[in-house]
């Protein structure tokens, strides 16, 4: 039986904190509705104490969501928890997400706290939040740069105080997969009361390892993953939901876990976030980039046209696309040109195909990518060439001839 991994989406909190990604309340509501349709288990709606608008957004998302839990971020402070509860109390499944740094560098330079003061603050905050009857998640910020013995003490203390979820945060994207997996295994085995809490992982992408670290965390036994649509977030971003979820699906035999994500809604959700933020993903972005299911090289085109699985490890339909895309350029082959012509209702013989192909390649050297309109112009040239008159017939003409 597959193990269930829960998906905590922080697009509306950590994602929105990235420069240039701010959203209005109405826009947050649209994204939240789409995330719930997508099947995420928890929507982190915002940081309620940050502003009146932020608190309103969390409140309205809490009122709107019918299935997903709604979380609000809080520092380990009573005023943050009170502000969060004013918004979260409308949710069917409210969750406080309390964070406090545990690395020495954060304690010394940012918080100016001792280790003991930090433990006391964390425990007090978790106990207070738990008194409202909601779920409580605690994140030791910068966990991957924290001393492991101290991290274990913190986790034991907050679980004893009532934390339902403990989230191991690679806040600055410092970890590599092997050491992150080792840390998760260590904590699950050494934290005295580990069985009383769900273990979550929250990975940043500063070294381009957020998705790899998240997958390593799952292999090591994490019960929840924290991610964002399109991988947006502070600095280099967060683990991309679409990449983690599709890795789990495509390599199901390796991970043997399942999520509640409706993968066919991944692409529409990605487009919605791009539309609202005005920031588009790079063409070579995994899963949802414009080139993720596009093929220009002739060898690849031939393979995909013969059988899509030769060069596609997942189907376009599995993420909500209608089909892959054959791109005509200087690297394309004759198979792709013939397919493009047939798609436009044009059938040519071998001599005509050679004519079209040679001119397409010459044109591609000048303009990089050849469009359908360009191809039709070349076909018109073919029709005007007397020596190629018999080499060209429209599909309808061919059908009438009984071929």
Domain locations along the chain: 3-277, 294-400
Structure tokens at 399: 């059908």
Query: In angstroms, rounded to a whole number, what is the distance separating the alpha carbons of residues 218 and 207?
Result: 19
Question: Above 60 in pLDDT, residue 101?
Answer: yes
| CB distance 25 to 57 below 8 Å | yes
CATH 3.20.20.70 assigned to 3-277: yes
Which residues does residue 6 pair with via DSSP β-bridges, in sequence order? 224
Specify the pLDDT at position 117. 98
Specify the pLDDT at position 331. 86
**pLDDT, tens digit (0-9, with 9 covering 90-100), for 123-169:** 999 999 999 999 999 999 999 999 999 999 999 999 999 999 999 99
Give the chain's mean pLDDT: 92
Question: Above 70 in pLDDT, residue 395?
Answer: no
Least confident of 208-217, 225-234, 262-271, 333-342: 333-342
Cα angle 39, 27, 40; round to 5: 10
The mean pLDDT of 367-377, rounded to a whole number, is 82
**What crossing angle do the helices spanning 266-277 and 25-38 adopt, rounded to 10°?**
170
CA dihedral (286, 288, 293, 294) in degrees, to 10, reads -90
Q: Where residue 381 falls among pLDDT bands split at 50, 70, 90?
A: confident
Name the phi and psi angles at 6, rounded to 5. Answer: -90, 145
Q: Where residue 402 falls among pLDDT bands split at 50, 70, 90?
A: very low
Q: Where residue 397 falls among pLDDT bands split at 50, 70, 90?
A: very low
Q: Beta 94-101 vs 198-203: how paired, if at all?
A: unpaired
Specify the pLDDT at position 249. 98
Specify the pLDDT at position 387. 52
Specify the pLDDT at position 392. 52
More confident residue, 15 or 349: 15
Structure tokens at 187: 């904590």
**pLDDT, tens digit (0-9, with 9 covering 90-100), for 157-212:** 999 999 999 999 999 999 999 999 999 999 999 999 999 999 999 999 999 999 99
Q: Where residue 403 falls among pLDDT bands split at 50, 70, 90?
A: very low
Q: Where residue 396 falls among pLDDT bands split at 50, 70, 90?
A: very low
**pLDDT, tens digit (0-9, with 9 covering 90-100), for 39-84:** 999 999 999 999 999 999 999 999 999 999 999 999 999 999 999 9
Question: Above 80 in pLDDT, residue 391?
Answer: no
Model pTM score: 0.88
């Amino acid at each position: 039986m597959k193990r269930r991994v829960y998906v905590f989406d922080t697009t509306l909190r950590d994602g929105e904190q990235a420069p240039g990604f701010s959203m209005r309340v109405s826009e947050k509501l649209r994204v939240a509705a789409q995330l719930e349709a997508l099947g995420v288990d928890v929507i982190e709606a915002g940081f309620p104490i940050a502003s009146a608008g932020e608190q309103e957004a969390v409140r309205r998302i809490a009122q709107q969501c019918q299935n997903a839990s709604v979380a609000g971020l809080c520092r380990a402070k009573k005023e943050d928890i009170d502000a969060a509860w004013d918004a979260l109390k409308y949710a069917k499944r409210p969750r406080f997400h309390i964070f406090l740094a545990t690395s020495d560098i954060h304690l010394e330079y940012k918080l100016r706290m001792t280790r003991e003061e930090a433990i006391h603050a964390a425990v007090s905050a978790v106990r207070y939040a738990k008194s409202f009857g909601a779920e409580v998640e605690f994140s030791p910020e910068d966990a991957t740069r924290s001393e492991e013995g101290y991290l274990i003490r913190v986790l034991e203390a907050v679980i004893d105080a009532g934390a339902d979820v403990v989230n191991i945060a690679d806040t600055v994207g410092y970890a590599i997969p092997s050491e992150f997996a080792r840390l998760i295994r260590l904590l699950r085995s050494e934290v005295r009361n580990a069985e009383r809490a769900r273990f979550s992982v929250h990975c940043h992408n500063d070294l381009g390892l957020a998705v790899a670290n998240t997958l390593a965390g799952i292999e090591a036994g994490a019960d929840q993953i924290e991610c964002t649509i399109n991988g947006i977030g502070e600095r280099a971003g967060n683990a991309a939901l679409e990449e983690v979820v599709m890795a789990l699906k495509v390599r199901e035999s390796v991970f043997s876990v399942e999520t509640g994500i409706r993968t066919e809604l991944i692409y529409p959700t990605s487009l919605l976030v791009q539309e609202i933020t005005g920031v588009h993903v790079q063409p070579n972005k995994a899963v949802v980039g414009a080139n993720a299911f596009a093929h220009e090289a002739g060898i690849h085109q031939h393979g995909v046209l013969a059988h899509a699985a030769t060069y596609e490890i997942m189907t376009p339909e599995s993420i909500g696309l209608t089909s892959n895309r054959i791109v005509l350029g200087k690297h394309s082959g004759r198979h792709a040109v013939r397919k493009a012509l047939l798609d436009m209702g044009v059938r040519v013989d071998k001599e005509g195909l050679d004519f079209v192909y040679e001119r397409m390649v010459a044109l591609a050297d000048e303009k990089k990518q050849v469009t359908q309109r360009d191809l039709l112009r070349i076909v018109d040239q073919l029709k005007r060439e007397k020596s190629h008159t018999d080499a060209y017939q429209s599909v309808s003409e061919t059908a009438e001839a009984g071929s």
